[in-house]
Amino acid sequence: MKILVTGAAGFIGFYLVKKLSSLGHVVAGIDNINNYYDVNLKYSRLLNCGIKREEIKYGIKQESASLSGFFFIKLDLTDREKLFSLFAEEKFDCVCNLAAQAGVRYSLENPYAYIDSNINGFINVLEACRLYAIGHLVFASSSSVYGLNEKTPFSVEDSTDHPVSLYAATKKSNELMAYTYSHLFNIPSTGLRFFTVYGPWGRPDMAYFKFAASIFDNKPIEVYNNGNMLRDFTFIDDIIEGTVAAINTVPSVNSQSAAGEPLSPPRAPFKLYNLGNNKPEKLMDFIETLEKALGRKAEKVFLGMQAGDVPATCADIDSARRDLGWEPKTSINEGLKLFADWFLEYRNKDGVSH
Q: CA–CA separation, 159 vs 197, rounded Å?
A: 23
Is-catalytic flag, 167? yes
Which of 15, 36, 43, 167 does the annotation list as catalytic?
A: 167
Can you give the chain as a three-state secondary structure string?
CEEEEECCCCHHHHHHHHHHHHCCCEEEEEECCCCCCCHHHHHHHHHHCCCCHHHCCECCCEECCCCCCEEEEECCCCCHHHHHHHHHHHCCCEEEECCCCCCCHHHHCCHHHHHHHHHHHHHHHHHHHHHCCCCEEEEEEEHHHHCCCCCCCECCCCCCCCCCCHHHHHHHHHHHHHHHHHHHHCCCEEEEEECCEECCCCCCCCHHHHHHHHHHCCCCEEEHHHHCCEECCEEHHHHHHHHHHHHCCCCCCEEECCCCCEEEEEECCEEEEEECCCCCEEHHHHHHHHHHHHCCCCCEEECCCCCCCCCECCECCHHHHHHHCCCCCCCHHHHHHHHHHHHHHHHHHCCCCC
The answer to whether 36 and 56 are in contact (CB under 8 A) is no
Q: CA–CA separation, 12 vs 19, rounded Å?
A: 11
Question: How do 2-6 and 94-97 pair as beta strands?
Answer: parallel
Kindly report the backbone phi and psi dihedral angles of residue 5, in degrees, each rounded to the nearest multiple of 5, phi listed first: -115, 115
Q: Which residues are catalytic, by number?
A: 167
